[in-house]
A and B are shown apart, each in its own frame.
Chain A
Amino acid sequence: MRSQALLLLVAVSAIAADHESLLIQNVTIHPVTSAEIKGGSVLIVDGKIAAIGTKLSARGAKVFDGKGLDLYPGLINAGSNVGLSEISSIRDTVDIDEIGVFNPQLKAEVAFNPSSEHVQIVRAAGITTVLSLPSSRGEEFSPASAVDAPILPGQGALMHLNGWTWEEMALKRGAALDMLFPIIPSVPRREQTIGGPPQRTYSELEREYKVKLEQIANFFEDARRYAHAKAAGEPDFQPDPKLEAMIPVIEGRRPILVRAGKERAIRDAIEFAEKEKVRIIIADPHDIGSTAELLAKHGIPVVLGETLTLPLKEDDAYDSQYALPGQLFKAGVKFCFGTFDVEFARNLPFQAAAASAFGLPPQDALKAVTINAAEIFGVADQIGSIEKGKLADLILTDGDPLEATTSIKAEFIVGKPVNLESRHTRLYEKWNARP
């Protein structure tokens, strides 16, 4: 070990001479993908992790004393509207849920507001990357199903929570195509509809649902024909942004993030993925029924929504939602966590910890908010753990980052120290000083 560190030291000194470098010393490193290192150091060169060891030093590098604190990789919120929505009840400040059924060409990153208050607030909780999505929660959670409800609301982007412009912040554009899988809504009880619009019958709703499935199939068929036509270089080929955006999807390069809250939607989504030969990620499931094994069998990953939520049915066990992550873990499903909102996006780590109280092993809770998210969205070569060659997205804490009592003491995004102040801390300082 000592000789290895010595070798690194030699190699590193040479690099450090004419590059921007930072040496974080005197920390307990929690790499997530390997065992913890006490009294460790991490050398960052040009925003990347250049070396990890116990006795690193580098000439010319700035030195950051970690004071014996804990160093973790930055956390990843794999489902949110951060940057796109400011105050959820004031539409003027909200840029999600565009009009239209099929909008696969819409890109979340282009409307990501780097000056949003949420950016600073969320990163102060140790979250260095968010998946920003162009739509709110699926149809299942909205009051009514509409014929023109969005199905493909646009592409989500993985965004770093530091940078002057959205271009600088975008880690991966088009990380996933958002999809609100159609459902047959449950017919409300009569007393719930008094004074409201006339209700449709089950058979009407079922018919609408089948029409939507057909629309989806047609849209994918159009996309395939478009791709063929483009590849064939036909002289009368006309570009179409919507269908163009579908090419990476039908070629399996861009996964579809399917919001499927309940068992039937999950089964339908799996069937759809098989039929269309596309890659899917199930998002925000809450009533998975007996689909865990099915998801594991098909190797379909999941982005879990809030753990801390009520059971869907009155006779469900009180902890049915708390225990869901543990249940998926036991079935061998790979998953990460999102919050699918803005206001509670910073509480992502507590959702993972709660899952752990109810059956998910703690080390896997940590993986779920770091490396798993990176793997699911194809960026594990860049983020999600403390490993040589990865981007230096790091958080310095005085304990387990999934505990609310822990404080985030310092943070680095792509090797740059991040200011942990926010509107919340500024208000605190200002008003705490009121005489």
Chain B
Amino acid sequence: MRTLLAFIALTCAAHAESILIRNATLLTVTKGTIQNGSVLIQDGKIAAVGTNLSAPAGATIIDASGKFLSPGLIDCHSHTAVEGSVNEGSLSDSSMVNIADVLDPSDINIYRALAGGLTVSNVLHGSANAIGGQTIVIKLRWGKPAKGLIFEGAKPGIKFALGENPKRQGYPSELFSSPAAQQRRYPGTRLGVEDEIREDFTQAKIYQTRWKLYNEDRAKGVHPIPPRRDLRLEPLVEVLEGKRYVHAHSYRADEILALIRTADDMGFKIRTFQHVLEGYKVAKEIAAHGAGASTFSDWYGYKYEVIDATPYNAAIMTRKGVVVSLNSDSDELQRHLNWDAAKMVRYGGLTPDQALAMVTINPAKQLGIEDKVGSIEIGKSADLVLYDKHPLSNYSKVLKVWIDGHPYFDLDQDLKDRITLADRKKDLIAKEKAEEDTAKKKADTERRAVDKKEGKLPQEGAL
């Protein structure tokens, strides 16, 4: 309890504290690069950005000469911190399940991602179903309980999936299905996936209307029997009402276009297409719908539906007016999204600022949190990353990471902790061994006592 209180006190102190990071190359993302720039952090927010800031009394001053400061990186597609499996694969529409219910704040990959400069993740359900589970945006506040991870004010989402993954449940193969999932399930084709989503939204609209009528009656003073609550359809009604974002796993141009048309017909929006490796073929249609594209930098060749993958996807989509981000979908890749962004300079000749935007402000826009994070601007959360070199260099390394002005990763501290933890581990192993030895001795003594009582004397050397 005392530790907990101390922890809270420390956290509060950190929030109230002012930090001035001085003499860094500031990669603001939205306002260009500032040489020898300073950032003042107050109450967890960016209070000032400039070249000649002076520290208020009592502020912690960090000299960042020769170093680079970027906004915290944002991953629009993650499965980190999900306890157990990410798929509720039983139904084609499992919209009633919620990732927020299974957040595991002790997942070590949160810390590992922090050490790579990641501060925000869109944590998604898997792609086994045409309509998967509800999703949640988190901040990587390592050490906080599950509730403390949730990004306050970020709109929740729902995962959709098109193509091979949801189809696969229709024709289980030895490669991808567990023995438990060896039962066929509709849909097993892209035609069926399109229909499934249409059917679900048809139901959702009827459900929405029933409640509307019911509420209207109630307003008139009539008291009809309320419609039966449907936890599966409720999130879809939220989608129809713009209260929940759709993040749609997709690869091929045909399925992307089909979903856009379904959404148009049903009157909802796709917030982001995820992976969207053929997005470049329908970039115009994606832009016109107003959807974002959250793609892989250079993945290809791993399955048939990515046959037309090209690392130039992001560049084409960007030029055709789509807001593009690079996602990880991986506990490893999320640790160096900056290096994935660097590839965009090579593939399609985007500028370093455009590249960096793909892992900062663009995913923030896609998640509707661009007023809070994603760039170094006054008033935004102090989610910042300090690097020894330019983050688009493959030789760069993360030194410090702040979330809401609180230091969540510090390389020097990490190196110190390693020694402490190694010692502690050694002590624990020694202690465990000592306890085992004591227990064994005790058991031996007891056995001897019993043997003696029963007259069985052990022979010398028999043990």
- Interface, chain A (partner B; CB < 8 A): 86-90, 117-118, 121, 195-196, 308-311, 314-315, 317-319, 342-343, 346-347, 349-350, 353-354, 356-358, 362, 402-407, 423-425, 427-428, 431-432, 434
Contacts and interface: CB of A to CB of B under 8 A. Distances in A.
A318 B112 contact: yes
Interface residues of B, number: 51
B303 interface: yes
Contact of B284 (A89, A315, A318, A434): A434
Given A87-B304, A402-B395, 10 more contacts: A86-B301, A308-B332, A310-B112, A342-B301, A354-B339, A357-B394, A404-B392, A424-B310, A425-B310, A428-B316
Contacts of A117: 301
B299 A343 contact: yes
Contact of A407 (B284, B336, B346): B346
Given A87-B307, A428-B312, A343 B332 contact: no
A407 B421 CA distance: 43
A195 B180 contact: yes
A90 B164 CA distance: 13
Given A357-B394, A403-B394, A432 B312 contact: yes
Contacts of A90: 303-304
A331 B250 CA distance: 46
Nearest to B421: A315
A347 B298 contact: yes
A95 to B, nearest CB: 15
Contacts of B301: 86-88, 117-118, 342-343
B303 A424 contact: no
Contact of B112 (A311, A354, A362): A311
B346 A343 contact: no
A191 to B, nearest CB: 10
Contacts of A318: 111-112, 115, 335, 414
Contacts of B336: 308, 354
B101 interface: no
Interface string B233-253: 000000000000000000000
B346 A356 contact: no
Given A195-B180, A311-B112, A404-B343, A357 B395 contact: yes
A314 to B, nearest CB: 5
Contact of B352 (A88, A405, A428): A405
Nearest to A309: B332
Contacts of B397: 357-358
Contact of A350 (B302, B303, B394, B425): B394
Nearest to A118: B301
B71 to A, nearest CB: 19
Interface in B136-191: 175, 178-180
A19 to B, nearest CB: 36
Interface in B294-319: 298-304, 307-312, 315-316, 319
Contacts of B303: 87-90
Given A404-B342, A424-B312, A88 B280 contact: no
A386 to B, nearest CB: 22
A424 B347 CA distance: 10
Contacts of B111: 318
B33 interface: no
Q: Is the interface of A mostly helix, strand, loop or mixed?
A: loop
Contacts of B335: 308, 318
Interface in B100-116: 108-109, 111-112, 115
A339 to B, nearest CB: 12
A151 to B, nearest CB: 24
A21 to B, nearest CB: 31
A432 to B, nearest CB: 5
A427 B312 contact: yes
B180 A432 contact: no
A434 B316 CA distance: 10
A22 B304 CA distance: 41
Given A424-B311, A434-B281, A404 B346 contact: yes
Given A87-B301, A88-B302, A354-B339, A310 B345 contact: no
A404 B345 contact: yes
A215 to B, nearest CB: 28
A314 B180 CA distance: 29
A354 B336 CA distance: 10
B73 to A, nearest CB: 15
Nearest to A422: B310
A356 B300 contact: no
B393 interface: yes
B331 interface: yes
B418 interface: yes
14 contacts: A87-B304, A87-B307, A88-B303, A195-B178, A343-B300, A346-B298, A356-B394, A362-B395, A402-B395, A405-B352, A424-B312, A425-B310, A428-B310, A431-B281
Contacts of A309: 332
Nearest to A405: B345
A354 B315 CA distance: 24
Contacts of B66: none
B342 A343 contact: no
B425 A315 contact: yes
A405 B392 contact: yes
Given A427-B312, A428-B312, A353 B394 contact: yes
A289 B97 CA distance: 42
A432 B336 CA distance: 28
A315 B423 CA distance: 13
B26 to A, nearest CB: 19
B279 to A, nearest CB: 10
Nearest to A423: B310
Contacts of B393: 403, 405
A358 B348 CA distance: 29
Nearest to B396: A357
A424 B298 CA distance: 10
B302 to A, nearest CB: 5
Contacts of A310: 109, 112, 331-332
